[in-house]
Amino acid sequence: MTHPAVGALPRTTPIILPIASLEQHGGHLPLFTDSLLVTEVARRAEAALGDRALFAPVLWLGSSDHHLAFSGTLSASPRTYLDMLAGLIDSVVRHGFQRVLLLNGHGGNTVPCQQALAEARGRHPRAPNLLLATPYWALGARPEKLDPRIRQTGMGHACEWETSMMLRVAPQLVGDHQNAPPVALEDDPFAPAARAWNTEERSAPGHVGDPRDADAEKGEVLLGAFTDDVVRFIGRMSAWNGATWSTTQR
C-alpha cells in the first residue's frame, strides 16, 4: 500500500501487527517456523476480513535469547525488543489509529508484549486507544476437540501442532519428525511459579512436545481453528465502542 492509501483508512480500522521469531525449532523444522506460521494465520484472516482490518508484514526478529545455544537463532535482547515493539505501537498511534493488535507467533515474545503494552498505555494515557496482544493459539481454540487424532492440548515448540502446520504450509521444509524423541510439555515441578530457563536445559534436540505423528491434515485443522479465533477477535476489536472499558459501560 501507499501512504495515501493508509492515510485514507478510517482511524477505527484494526491494525494488526504480526510478530514472530527466527529461532531454532528442533532438528526437523526451519528457523523461520514462527514467522511462516503467524504469516499464514494473518494471510488467512486477511482473506476473510478484506478491508475491515489492516495487516502489517511480520516483524520476524523476536526475543529469542533463550534459544541462542542453538546455531542459527537470531535474537533481539529483551530490552531492545521492548523498544522495537514501542516503535511499532507508537508509529501506529501517531497516525491516529485507535485499535492495535500485536498478533504474536512466538511464546518468548509474550512477556515483552505485555510490558510493551503497559508502557505504551503510560505514554498515551488519554488517547482512546485499544492496545492488545495475544499469541494466535491462545484465543480459546481447542483443536483436539475438532480432530480427536490431535493429542496435544496446548502449544509446545516444534511440537505436534507446529510440525503439523508446517507440513500443511511448507512440507518441503520439514525434516525427519517421525524419529524426533518426545519431550514432555508439562514437567516443571515448580509450576505455576515463573521459572527462568534456557531451552537447552529442557530439551537437547531443541523441540518441546511430540512431533512424531504430526501430519498436514492436523495442520489444516489447527490453522483453521486459530484463524477463526483471530477473525472473531478482530471482529470484537471492530465492535468496541471506542470510548469505554467494557461494552456495557456508558
CB count, 10 Å around CB of 241? 11
Q: Which is nearer to Zn ion, 61 or 120 (CB)?
A: 61
**Please, which residues bridge with residue 208 across strands?**
157
Least Å distance between CB 60 and Zn ion? 12
Strands 54-55 and 15-19: parallel
Tell me which stretch binds Zn ion (CB under 5 A): 30-38, 96-104, 120-128, 190-198. 30-38
Residue number, nearest CB to Zn ion: 34
DSSP state of 55: E
Q: Which is nearer to Zn ion, 34 or 46 (CB)?
A: 34
DSSP state of 24: -
User: Is the distance from CB of 65 to CB of 22 less than 8 angstroms?
Assistant: no
Least Å distance between CB 162 and Zn ion? 5
Tell me which stretch binds Zn ion (CB under 5 A): 33-41, 121-129, 132-140, 200-208. 33-41
Tell me which stretch binds Zn ion (CB under 5 A): 28-36, 93-101, 131-139, 216-224. 28-36
- Give per-residue burial for 47-86: e unless 16+ CB within 10 Å, then b: eebeeebbbeebbbbbbbbbbbebeebebbebeebbebbb
Least Å distance between CB 37 and Zn ion? 7
Secondary structure percentages of the chain, helix, strand, coil, to 5: 45, 10, 45
**Cα atoms in the Cβ-side hemisphere of radius 13 Å centred on 249:** 7
Residue showing cell 477477535:
233
Least Å distance between CB 58 and Zn ion? 13
Tell me which stretch binds Zn ion (CB under 5 A): 26-34, 41-49, 51-59, 95-103. 26-34
Is residue 46 near Zn ion by the rule CB under 5 A?
A: no
Q: Which is nearer to Zn ion, 161 or 233 (CB)?
A: 161
Residue showing cell 520439514:
174
Tell me which stretch binds Zn ion (CB under 5 A): 34-42, 215-223, 225-233, 240-248. 34-42
> How many chain residues touch Zn ion (CB under 5 A)?
2
Q: Which is nearer to Zn ion, 175 or 235 (CB)?
A: 175
Least Å distance between CB 33 and Zn ion? 5
**Please, which residues bridge with residue 183 across strands?**
209
Least Å distance between CB 157 and Zn ion? 6
CA distance between the termini of the chain: 37
Q: Which is nearer to Zn ion, 131 or 183 (CB)?
A: 183
Instruction: List the one residue from 16, 20, 34, 82 that touches Zn ion (CB under 5 A).
Output: 34
Task: Report the interface residues with Zn ion, using CB under 5 A.
Answer: 33-34
